[in-house]
Structure 1
Amino acid sequence: MHSFFWMAGGSLAAVLGGALFLHLVAALGGPGRRVMGWFTRAPGLDLLVTWFTVAPWLVGAIVFGWAGLLGGIAGQVVGLVAWCWGHELAHRDAVKGPRIVTVLNRLVGRPRNHVALWVTSLAVPVFWVVRIGEWVVYPPLILLVRFPRYPMGEWVNVSRHKFDGLVGHDLIWCLYCDWMTGVWSLGSEMLRNVESFWCPIRFLDDKKCANCSVDFPDVMNAWVPADGSMGDVTELLERKYAGREGDQRYSWFGHPERVELTVEGKRVE
Structure 2
Amino acid sequence: MTVTTTLRSTGLVAVAALAFTALGTASAAHASDEAVPAAVAGWFSDSAPATAAAVLGSGATEVSEGDGTSPADRPASAYRTGTPVPLHDWNPAFMTGDTTIAVVGTGEWVAPLYRDSAVVGTIAVTLHDSGEVRMTYVDDDRTAGAALASGDVSGDVVQDPQLGGLLEVADGGQADGLSAVADTTVDTDAATELRDLVTEAHDPDSWAPDVAGTGSGSEGAGAGYGQIVFGGLGAAAVLLLWRIAGRRAAA
Q: TM-score range by the shorter chain?
A: under 0.3
Higher strand share: 2
Q: Which has the higher contact order (CA 8 A, sep 6+)?
A: 2
Normalised by the length of structure 1, the TM-score is 0.25
Say which one has the larger Rg. 1
Higher helix share: 1
